[in-house]
Structure 1
């Protein structure tokens, strides 16, 4: 019997609905991404319908809690084979799983930390299909940014040298009006040419801090840094979670770098080696070593068996999937 399921909305509020779909035929689950043309076929043990809280940057620049929703396919050990972010209608998910004969775990009201910990447990061959296209200006982002920046700088210089302050005030007023209608980042590129310099400089400063061991991880993704005796797990400019260091009387005492069946990750641990926060994905050993040495954190490197990895995932209380 064939069954089909599609999302009705984006993974977070007011975001685009992904172009993904699920179908079930003769014991095989197939996920398709209509945007990229990719498809994945697998035989999961269960589906995982999830919702967890995540802080995002609001329109006023302050962090706001937003729910993140999606559907994941789990193997027999509860590890994630496939992650499909998006809003999936619960009754339709129920009908789909009944038709397919698959159990479904409803984790939409489970604690957010628990849900994130489950999603961070990746099975071999883990995939995530977003179903979202890149912005149409993605290929031309650098030429457009440079051209708009140069044009904006030339206009600002001309008006300043000619003393046409009233004209500049008029353009500024028009800019505020257009700002309500157009994506702010493109206007910022046009009227703030310094952004063309600030971004690469900020990236270079982050790399320098990484080489010095004051920060660990990429600037855009989850990374670690220590401030005033606290270990911060940060995404972008906002702290996801923070732990007082053990030397200051807190919990965070070490870092665990692991590998298992081709996968890898980093775990913040307490003084007894118990996991506090899991960050899946590859982490350069040299960078981790410098960060641990500078901040006096115990560093362990392990190769886990599957059973050990599953035990680690089940003991994690929070993660950054």
Structure 2
């Protein structure tokens, strides 16, 4: 991701694409102390990133993407910051380190630039499969797929008639345009009604899941939530969903204002704000032992460095 760094007065200005500039203090408590140039093994290649750390080594801002190590090192020397280059042995180690948030942590949603041409997505064979999940979810998926197939069929017929009219002017295919127009209006109405039904039912179901203690969401970005399904505890992020074998939850807050959730005995660290009432309801419904603690800065540093994995 493209990133521009600059200094204005006593602040480090981080210019982020499609986001307002982020300002980080260069003086006082919890100031930027180190620019960390990091790498970790990814799928088939090493992935790189840049992080701004405070004096305790906690992350204030992290940016994915490869950039010139020499340029970053020179910039750090120019403004009097420490520079550190670190290659993590595993992606888990990188996530654990990046999840250790500073009180001045700034959350930024990194978006890729939109493609020059929109993607054309077709329903595919998944729409023809029998239900593999809850029937309540399956019928909504089938309604959505059915509308997609109707749109594709209408588009194919319309293109075919246009091509025939252009290639064979003697053919009386224009008689098919009248019924086709009526079908288009009916299809448009069907699509609108179907979309309203699917979205409305989905939102109501989402609210019910939270109220009933089946889903627990982290506030803000990046996306992260816990889902309880048939006695299984699932951790869902923007990239994937995995099953977690944990029976305890630790909801912590630090004196400096940092909050987060720990699953199991140091199994997963999920920094960010988790609503205490919803967390208690989720734990009670799903038989999880919940502990709520207020940590000192030293306790927070000791706790977060011992994690096995995390979702920054």
Which TM-score tier does this pair reach, normalised by the shorter chain? 0.5 to 0.7
* Higher strand residue share: 1
Are residues 166 and 290 of structure 1, via their aligned partners in 2, closer, same or farther at CA, if it must alter by over 3 Å?
A: closer
In the TM superposition, residue 42 of structure 1 has moved relative to its aligned partner by 2.2
In the TM superposition, residue 223 of structure 1 has moved relative to its aligned partner by 0.9
Verify: 1:210 aligned to 2:210, yes or no.
Answer: yes
In the TM superposition, residue 116 of structure 1 has moved relative to its aligned partner by 0.9
Structure 2: tracts of 5 or more residues without a match: 27-31, 115-146, 164-187
Pairing of 1:259-270 with structure 2 (within 5 A): 259-260=253-254, 261-270=256-265
Q: How many pairs align?
A: 246
Do the aligned residues in 1 keep the contact of 2:40 with 2:46 (CA within 8 Å)?
yes
Pairing of 1:116-135 with structure 2 (within 5 A): 116-129=95-108
Structure 1 or 2, whichever has the larger Rg, is 2
- Using the alignment, how far apart are the partners of 1:122 and 1:45 within structure 2? 14
Name 1:231's counterpart in structure 2.
Answer: 233
Q: What SS does structure 1 have at the residue aligned with 2:15?
A: strand
- Using the alignment, how far apart are the partners of 2:229 and 2:68 within structure 1? 42
Q: What SS does structure 2 have at the residue aligned with 1:77?
A: coil
Do the aligned residues in 1 keep the contact of 2:36 with 2:86 (CA within 8 Å)?
yes
Q: What is the TM-score normalised by the length of structure 2?
A: 0.64
- Using the alignment, how far apart are the partners of 1:94 and 1:281 within structure 2? 30
- Using the alignment, how far apart are the partners of 1:224 and 1:111 within structure 2? 24
Q: CA RMSD in A?
A: 4.0
In the TM superposition, residue 100 of structure 1 has moved relative to its aligned partner by 3.9
Q: What SS does structure 2 have at the residue aligned with 1:256?
A: strand
Do the aligned residues in 2 keep the contact of 1:276 with 1:318 (CA within 8 Å)?
yes
Verify: 1:49 aligned to 2:32, yes or no.
Answer: no
Q: What SS does structure 2 have at the residue aligned with 1:291?
A: helix
Structure 1: tracts of 5 or more residues without a match: 1-9, 11-17, 55-63, 136-152, 174-188, 245-251
Name 2:252's counterpart in structure 1.
Answer: 258
Name 1:285's counterpart in structure 2.
Answer: 276
Q: What is the TM-score normalised by the length of structure 1?
A: 0.63
Are residues 66 and 196 of structure 1, via their aligned partners in 2, closer, same or farther at CA, if it must alter by over 3 Å?
A: farther
- Using the alignment, how far apart are the partners of 1:200 and 1:191 within structure 2? 15
